Amino acid sequence: MSSEKLDVLDDKSSGQAALDKVTVSVSDPESQGVHVSLGKPEQGLKLDKTGLPLIPQPSDDASDPLNFPQWLKIAVLLQVSFLALLGPLNQATVNPAFVPLAAHFHVTTVVASYQTTIAIAFAGIGSFIWVPIANTYGRRPVLLFTTIVAAATSITAGKAQTWSQLIATRVLNGLFTSSFFTIGAGVVSDCFFLHQRGRAMGIFTVFLTNSAHIAPIPGGFLAQYVSYRWCYYLPAILDLTMFVVMLFCLPETIYIRGSAPVVTDRPILRKMKVWGLRPKGKYLKAADFLRQFSMFKYPTVLLTAFYYSITFTLSSILPAVTSATLFRRLYLFTPSQTGLALGLGTLIGSTLGELLGGIVVDRTMYLSRKKKAGEVVAESRLQGIWIGAILQPIGLLIWGFTIQYKTGVIGPTMGFGIMCFAIQVISTVIYSYNADCYKPQTPEVAQVLNFGRQTVGMTTGFWAIPLGDKIGYQWMAVTMSLVGLVTLTPVIYFMFHGKKIRDRMGAPTYNRAL
């Protein structure tokens, strides 16, 4: 943006026209932040290093998370990313231990998997409780509270003496770990500008996606050489460790755009208070727990979340809940061998996917803005999804056919490695796209994504192995691949018409100052 264009604001007759022109060029998902800055022409428009306007426009307040030093932003990102990893880790570390777990409680291995799926299901429900509370009282106190309770429920699960006790503790664990997924995404959106958000969200989602892949590695060894109970104690220890780290290192990131700066010599240290950082004039109301459901009415959110939920279930949860049974049946694997095969294959795939995904989505947005003179079109992010959308069904087919025809273990391992590469790209694109569309409502959007992922994913333990045994794993893979391709079609439509749909629907009116 050149200084000549901003000089027009000095003329009263042409100032509003110039303001309208500039607002259109840089608005779309997050125009309110730009309006505030342009209302004060003497301050000028703040630009990134490439000369494009920063979106959102940062305030002059040192306690604004957008003004945090880069090292602190990275530290915050790593903390909430590791916390996101702990959510599925609490649920999935026990997956390779279904055989000893089933033997102890005198149930089948399929029934043993239900304690994982029940935790996944309630992790999808719980976020609807925590996000309104976090938006009112702050992200920091909610994350600290839910982390300490998650640790307690994991310890209790390890000590459970009956099947009903175990299920009850897993319900509670799912409810409290649900905050890790949704509030964490809001923290990332609070701290990073539009041009940084793709890579930041990519790091967040690679931790989230890889958690269920890392979990079987220690889980398998613990189940085989110590006790299945340590598959619950280990996540509890990590939860407690993360609680201590966040207590001393995670600042509050909620910030009301346009609010008066707080006069203090230690703006960041003030953000480290455990309590008392509720935004001025913000009170928790019963309606806050209901209006978050309004995000389901936006087609770009709902249908991209549906595609993400289907592909995440098939690419991440399906291998996780079936490998303990299938690898023991086909290869006579021990829990530790199952954990290594599942964990290493999926970890490599997801990590490679992130190396590509975050860079691609940010680069795509940058090229789009340069081409369109700074105009932000969130749908530009969706162009980065193609490699993931193509590889996901390919990996699923490799997995299904190699399982059915009993190839060496490298076959299914390669299949779910490719699927995990694909889902990492898909996750980064979907999270970044929706955060661009509705930045102030990022936690609520993450709720929709989390609810879909957890709700669809929790069904896997009930149908995957019975369906594969009945029709053959190759035909199950073909069927599920077609389902994934069908749910991709709305995403392709949004690439070309998503902006028109969003303009017609309008933006949510709540939390717009965040």
**What HEC string does 190-206 produce?**
HHCCHHHHHHHHHHHHH
**223, amino acid identity:** A
Question: Rounded to an integer, what distance in angstroms lies between the CA atom of residue 201 and that of residue 346?
Answer: 19
Question: Rounded to an integer, what distance in angstroms lies between the CA atom of residue 32 and that of residue 57?
Answer: 9
The predicted structure's pLDDT at residue 78: 94
Residue 47 phi/psi, 5-degree rounding, is -115, 160
Task: Please give the angle made by the CA atoms of 54, 371 and 507, to the nearest 5 degrees.
Answer: 55
**Number of helices and strands (H, E) in the chain?**
22, 0
What are the residues whose beta carbons fall under 8 Å from the beta carbon of 197, sequence distance 6 or more? 188, 189, 362, 432, 435, 436
Collapsed DSSP state (helix, strand, coil) of residue 47: strand
What are the residues whose beta carbons fall under 8 Å from the beta carbon of 119, sequence distance 6 or more? 90, 91, 170, 171, 173, 174, 177
What separation in angstroms does the CA of 272 have from each of 142, 179, 183, 269? 13, 19, 17, 5
Q: List the structure tokens of 51.
A: 């000369």
The tens-digit pLDDT sequence of the chain (514 residues) is: 333 333 333 333 333 333 343 343 343 444 433 333 333 433 467 776 766 777 777 777 777 888 888 899 999 999 999 999 998 889 888 887 888 888 889 988 778 888 888 888 888 788 788 888 888 888 999 999 999 999 999 999 999 999 999 999 999 999 999 888 888 888 888 888 877 777 788 788 778 877 777 887 888 889 888 998 999 999 999 999 999 999 999 998 888 776 776 666 676 677 777 765 666 667 777 777 777 788 888 999 999 999 999 998 888 888 877 877 888 888 888 877 877 777 777 777 777 776 666 566 666 666 665 555 556 677 888 888 898 899 999 999 999 999 999 888 888 888 888 988 888 889 888 888 888 888 778 778 878 888 888 788 778 877 888 899 999 999 999 999 999 999 999 999 999 999 899 989 887 877 666 6
The predicted structure's pLDDT at residue 141: 92
| Domains, the chain, ordered by start | 22-49 (no CATH), 65-279+288-504 (1.20.1250.20)
What separation in angstroms does the CA of 40 have from each of 6, 53, 63, 193, 263? 11, 15, 20, 20, 21
pTM, two decimals, is 0.71
The predicted structure's pLDDT at residue 27: 39
What separation in angstroms does the CA of 175 have from each of 128, 144, 465? 10, 14, 27
Which residue in this structure is represented by tokens 């342009």? 38
Question: Rounded to an integer, what distance in angstroms lies between the CA atom of residue 180 and that of residue 292?
Answer: 17
Q: List the structure tokens of 52.
A: 């494009």
What separation in angstroms does the CA of 371 have from each of 10, 25, 67, 377? 28, 12, 28, 11
Question: Rounded to an integer, what distance in angstroms lies between the CA atom of residue 255 and that of residue 6?
Answer: 27
The predicted structure's pLDDT at residue 356: 67
What separation in angstroms does the CA of 255 have from each of 59, 139, 144, 188? 10, 11, 19, 13
Asked whether the beta carbons of 90 and 175 are under 8 A apart, the reply is: no
Residue 53 phi/psi, 5-degree rounding, is -60, 140
**450, amino acid identity:** N
